[in-house]
Amino acid sequence: MQTASLFLFLQPMGRIMAIDYGKKRTGIAVTDPMKIIASGLCTVETKVLGAWLKDYLNKEPVDTIVVGEPKQMDYTDSELGGVITAFANALQIQYPAINIERVDERFTSKMAFQTMIDSGLNKRQRRNKALVDEIAATIILQSFMDRKPY
């Protein structure tokens, strides 16, 4: 029985992925297989996001996808709220074995920009909107990880 328990412990675990969905670009972040470290992965053009996800999910095990939930200050949906909800619902239908979670993403772009300043990036580098989206996805992922025991 101990051997079986050890074997299960050593099995690779699926990652957690975070998605900062945008009209033009979507930031992606993932954890390591042990779900300890959140790292920015890339930014994908939203129009090719479905194909990109299919390819990535065929190569890497993912247990959970966290989709940012844009809210206004009064907690109502932002202008993209309905589109992102439809996207999250479509993910759940297309990938029923993957847990789809939502996380409030208010202020993540501002936090990402501040992170870029704190990191010493110059003004030209801070104008890189793709990098902002990737960092925002990382913040969404870290926020999710901070509130869930893994």
3-state secondary structure of 5: helix
Using the predicted structure, report yes or no on whether residue 26 has a pLDDT greater than 70: yes
**Own/partner long-range contacts of 29-34 (Cβ < 8 Å, ≥24 apart):** 29/134, 29/137, 29/138, 29/140, 29/141, 30/60, 30/62, 30/141, 31/141, 31/145, 33/61
Q: How far apart are CA 132 and CA 121, in angstroms?
A: 12
6: pLDDT confidence band, cut at 50, 70 and 90? very low
pLDDT digits (tens, 9 = 90+) for 52-108: 999 999 999 999 999 998 766 666 667 788 899 999 999 999 999 999 999 887 666
DSSP 37-86: -EEEEEEEEGGGHHHHHHHHHHHS-EEEEEEEE-B-TTS-B-TTHHHHHH
Q: For the residues 15-34, what does the mean pLDDT come to?
A: 95
> What is the mean predicted confidence (pLDDT) over 18-31?
95
Q: How many Å is the maximal CA-CA distance in the chain? A: 58
| H or E stretch covering 27 | strand 25-31
**112: pLDDT strictly greater than 90:** no
Domains and CATH numbers, the chain: 12-147 (3.30.420.140)
Q: What pLDDT score does 3 carry?
A: 46
**Residue 104's pLDDT is what?**
80
Closest to 53 measured CA to CA, from 30, 31, 69: 30
